[in-house]
Structure 1
Amino acid sequence: MSDEIKHECGLAYIRLRKPLSFYLEKYGTVLYGLNKLYLLMEKQHNRGQDGAGVATVKLNVDNGYEFLHRIRSNAQHPIADIFAQIGQQVGDLEKYLPEIQSNPELMKGHVPMLGELLLGHLRYGTQGKNDVEFCHPFIKRNIERVKNMALAGNFNLVNTKELFEAIDLEPGNFQKQSDLAAMMEVVHRYIAEDADNNNGEANIAQVLKRAASLFDGGYTIGGLLGNGKSFVLRDEHGIRPAYYYADEEVIVAASERASIRTAFNVGENEVKELMPGKSLIVDENGEFTIVQILEPKERRACSFERIYFSRGGDEKIYRERIALGYHLSERILNEIDADLKNTIFSYIPNTAEVAFYGLVKGMEDYLNKIKVQRILSWGTDFTPEKLEEMVNRKIRQEKIAIKDVKMRTFITADAGRNEMVQHVYDITYGTVKKDEDTLVVIDDSIVRGTTLKESIVRMLARLQPKKIIVVSSAPQIRYPDCYGIDMSRMGDFIAFRAALALHKDGGTEHIIEEVYQRCKRYHEENKLHTENLVKEIYAPFTTEEISAKIAELITPEGVSVPIQVIYQTIEDLHDSCPTNTGDWYFTGNYPTHGGNRVVNKAFINYIEGNNSRGY
């Protein structure tokens, strides 16, 4: 999307089911598991660039030797940094023991990160800071192996305070800033209690049922225990994605299906979705079961996964993004009066490219129908030249905007920064007929509208088209997310600012105050979680009215070219992405009570000038 938002995280889990010597003999390297973990993480690097981490558990290690290891990094390229450190460990050993890679057990004893259980994580900071201490996995150590744990996940919880209260723990300053810390304390506490009550053995399924019943949020988490057990767990609404694959050699799980397919060269149907509320549990012998931990509720898988977040290499996601663009074609045809001759189609940024293909496909289908109708209407009254001209008519597509990825804005003063931001994108001159062509540019979503106003619209206006139509393949983003996407402040949303502007224009600002007072009253009565009061801010206006006001807000001062904004409808979103119906950021219909609390708190924060998150 043109407005960068930080989002999601990525999880990668591998359990080797054979001795390390097996992989040396079959694949020529004892580092097989680490190599595959690197691939899984690299193929999901889009999911997190604030940091990364890897944890390893070694099986059958003699008492007194360390069996749980971890490396984390918040370097500019954290995945590369982590695996460079591991490579350095191996390289240093080879200097003194040249034949060490042919001796699996010697390698295992001397390379800290070489083990049979591997857990990798890619982080975008949505709670906590971006210091390396906040990078997953978190670990707990204990003299009893079962009480050693590494935990990582793709999630946000909105009830961390309540979790600490549930186990009667007063969190420290670090723990207060991390929902993973809260989750870790709960899971670890219950593992320790279960082990103490069962002669040192913890029943992972029972522990997860007890712990997960307390979590309010969307999550996929992975955990490794020091005794060789491990698990991956998905929330009961399926908000965050999870996929797994198993054969005789490995058990694998990740946040994206395509990463598993690529890393292990397997077919689509071989990679399974871990369904809502279920856990992949692997015992110390490498045997796995899929267990229903939480009763599944209405499936509300995040639709942003399909619109933008997940990489488009997954064939289903690719088709869905095509459909998102295709659904917009009829509305755009109406807006341009079907004047394809004088309309140019393009996309900004590159992540909108697949939706752009779908939009163009819709235009081509319309154009082909027109061609057939016109040719049939001629009967025998045509020349080869006339027929050739008709058959060769095409949809006008241009690469209008090019992002200068090397450009950095080093000026911090607002005036200077805005001037520099204008030039983050460059344009292709000579593509537009001045005052004749309409420019249609598609973005996958519009969040803040800042980049559109300060860079893209101003830049496109230099081409002097007759009109600019900005199209979003997603509906209007109106409400905060609290399940793993860093969209938590009401003032960030241009749709919200547009609604406020419409209230001001219409003299209905008293509604804003009334909603604020109700939110304050609900807060005092501990009822913020009961309903989304902010819906009332949008209720008086149609989607088209808000879109028109957004067009005004993203039009820079001094730009005279008419600007129009068209959004995807909720109905067409669900038709395009039928399995990912999570749409709370568009509709305000949150899958958990915590979502209502967050949106109402975010509104209070906005009115009071508090720039804090709503959770």
Structure 2
Amino acid sequence: MASGGLSNDVVGESSVLTHECGVFGCVATGEWPTELDVANTINLALIGLQHRGQECAGIVTGTGSPSDRFNDHRGMGLVSSVFDTHALSNLAGNLGVGHTRYSTQGKSEIKNCQPFVLENIHGQIAVAHNGELTNKNSLRKEVLERGVGLRTASDSEVIAQILCYPPEKREGRDWVERIKYLMRRAPLAYSLLIMHEGEIFALRDPFGNRPLCIGKLMTPVDENHVEGYVVSSESCVFQSIGAIMHREIAPGEIVSITKKGIASLDVVARPSNKPPALCIFEYVYFARPDSVIDGQMVYGARYRCGQQLGVESPIEADVVGAVPESSTPAAHGYAAQVGVPFVDVLAKNRYIGRTFIQPTKRLRQLAVAKKFGALRENVAGKRVVLVDDSIVRGNTMGPIVKMLRQGGAKEVHIRIASPPLKNACYMGINIPNTKELVANQLSVEGIAEIMGADSLAYLSLDGLVKSVRNGAWKTSFDKNASDNISNGNSGDKEVGHCVACLDGNYPVDLDW
């Protein structure tokens, strides 16, 4: 055992970061019933968002008629195993929302699978949520004190119940007022889709902690004809379903999507005019490299992080390699900056998905060997720089270094394209408590020693922020959204990021 209670055993999935979930919605245009296969479109999109959640998945569709009930199907496991031809055939509809989940609150069981469907006096709503509420305790108490029973421990169910509250001082179904009440009570963290009758409301929390973007689904035979509107946690799925990027949703913005089009309804201000707080680890690790966030491709941000890492921490070496796959762009950037060739040093078994905790020490130690193999001809006799995106518990890197040395590597130098993780996340990422974070317990030199590396260096916080922001541009809104912002309903359009897991400064006070 290393100091601080940290073991060099491999514990599988708990050694890496996992995101809570991904959301997707689709609304067909034109006359209903539509010929567009809404359910299969959502299914294909969820497969593209599988990296954001792998425990369970669900789809809810509707005709848009107040008299018709929603169709829904949920299941445990990967999207491809949850939705077969029979399941999709029972999800006919003109619009729908989908969700793929990794749990941070609530057990991994079917009752926590989203989208949640509730009924109030104005009919059914379906709610799909990405994120985690920072004031979940007070909101849960508020719901329970109103006499509402809760089936799950999920804060997403709390959101759904709050949306069923009657809007203050208003009559009827005013969904915008309901949503604004939720957003004022819960400043972060969420991207949220709410389906009611023939409309999907899409919104981001006022800090914009989770990404959300809108696309237009084009007809294959007529690229100028829009046959549907889609909204997604990430833009990477658009190409695979025949959609094009329209725009990102602004922090605090409420957007309505119907068969007639897209409308910006309002923008809720951030408390005390604080800056935006997009999770910076969307760029470092979570998002697919072909996604666009804050107007820039994630790949480019990761590449610049690698370049900056090369500026800050060069080392004499023969080759630069990456821990596949999210760190590969950073490794290319590092190699280009220091003038050392990039080569593949590890082969990844692409058929290994989630690696569960193994029951014995020997099996835990073999977990990395199941996922990676050293490319001996590329490392034998070489001084190797190994680039990774982050270190969490530090359980995986040690066996990888050992593997490279067994492959003949003369030296192994670790370079991490983000700063040391020292603090827990309370906004939807499963960063463990601080005592389990290796960077919180050991010095950089101590971490290098337990990993068996010749040296270890991290990208600085200033370097990370600069690398990410240098490629970002102020998000483009449609005219209504721009008017909402210019009228003072939100802060400015500045780019800003949450780095609380790195520096301990959280965007808001926590109610945990």
TM-score w.r.t. structure 2 length? 0.82
Q: 1:42 aligns with which of 47, 72, 77?
A: 47
TM-superposed deviation, 1:573:
0.7
Of stretches 210-219 and 302-311 in structure 1, the one that deviates more from structure 2 is 210-219
Query: Is 2:446 the partner of 1:549?
Result: yes
Query: Is 2:175 the partner of 1:243?
Result: no
The aligned counterpart of 1:59 is 64
The aligned counterpart of 2:76 is 74
Deviation string 1:229-274 (CA, Å, 9 cap, x unpaired) is 33011101110001113585322211112323442342xxx52110
The aligned counterpart of 2:378 is 431
TM-superposed deviation, 1:410:
9.3
The aligned counterpart of 1:317 is 298
Q: 1:330 to 1:174 in 2, by over 3 A?
A: same
Q: 1:121 aligns with which of 85, 99, 105?
A: 99
Within 2, Cα distance between the matches of 1:207 and 1:215? 12
The aligned counterpart of 1:86 is 87
TM-superposed deviation, 1:216:
4.5
Letter aligned with residue 450 of structure 2: L
Paired residues for 1:206-285 under 5 Å? 206-225=177-196, 227-246=197-216, 249-266=227-244, 270-282=245-257
Q: Is the 8 A contact 1:14 1:33 kept in 2?
A: yes
The aligned counterpart of 1:575 is 466
Deviation string 1:350-394 (CA, Å, 9 cap, x unpaired) is 221111111122133xxxxxxxxxxxxxxxxxxxxxxxxxxxxxx
Query: Is 2:19 the partner of 1:18?
Result: no
Return the structure number with greater strand share: 2
Within 1, Cα distance between the matches of 2:157 and 2:24? 19
Q: 1:121 to 1:412 in 2, by over 3 A?
A: closer
The aligned counterpart of 1:564 is 455
Letter aligned with residue 306 of structure 2: G
Within 2, Cα distance between the matches of 1:582 and 1:262? 30
The aligned counterpart of 1:484 is 428
The aligned counterpart of 1:166 is 142
Q: 1:410 to 1:249 in 2, by over 3 A?
A: closer
Q: 1:490 to 1:72 in 2, by over 3 A?
A: same
Letter aligned with residue 50 of structure 1: E
Cα RMSD between the aligned structures? 2.6
Within 1, Cα distance between the matches of 2:148 and 2:394? 38
TM-superposed deviation, 1:292:
2.8
Letter aligned with residue 71 of structure 1: H
Letter aligned with residue 509 of structure 2: H
Within 1, Cα distance between the matches of 2:151 and 2:456? 43
Of stretches 403-412 and 122-131 in structure 1, the one that deviates more from structure 2 is 403-412
Within 2, Cα distance between the matches of 1:412 and 1:314? 33
TM-superposed deviation, 1:406:
5.2
The aligned counterpart of 2:278 is 301
Pair member with larger Rg: 1
Query: Is 2:375 the partner of 1:398?
Result: no
Within 1, Cα distance between the matches of 2:411 and 2:30? 63
Within 1, Cα distance between the matches of 2:148 and 2:250? 32
Q: 1:204 to 1:293 in 2, by over 3 A?
A: farther
Q: Is the 8 A contact 1:234 1:278 kept in 2?
A: yes
Within 1, Cα distance between the matches of 2:380 and 2:287? 37
The aligned counterpart of 2:473 is none
Per the alignment, in what secondary structure is the counterpart of residue 423 of structure 1? helix
Structure 2, unaligned runs of 5 or more: 1-11, 218-225, 470-494
Q: 2:366 aligns with which of 420, 429, 435?
A: 420
Letter aligned with residue 87 of structure 2: I
TM-superposed deviation, 1:159:
2.2
Q: Is the 8 A contact 1:400 1:431 kept in 2?
A: yes
Within 1, Cα distance between the matches of 2:355 and 2:162? 43
Q: 1:84 to 1:207 in 2, by over 3 A?
A: same
Within 1, Cα distance between the matches of 2:436 and 2:86? 39
Deviation string 1:124-174 (CA, Å, 9 cap, x unpaired) is 1111111011111111135x4x23111111010132221133342466573
Within 2, Cα distance between the matches of 1:189 and 1:205? 12
Q: 1:443 aligns with which of 367, 383, 388?
A: 388
The aligned counterpart of 1:384 is none
Return the structure number with greater helix share: 1
Structure 1, unaligned runs of 5 or more: 24-29, 90-110, 365-394, 499-545, 556-561, 598-614
Within 1, Cα distance between the matches of 2:356 and 2:248? 44
The aligned counterpart of 1:591 is 507
Q: 1:458 aligns with which of 402, 411, 422?
A: 402
Within 2, Cα distance between the matches of 1:590 and 1:135? 28
Query: Is 2:159 the partner of 1:183?
Result: yes
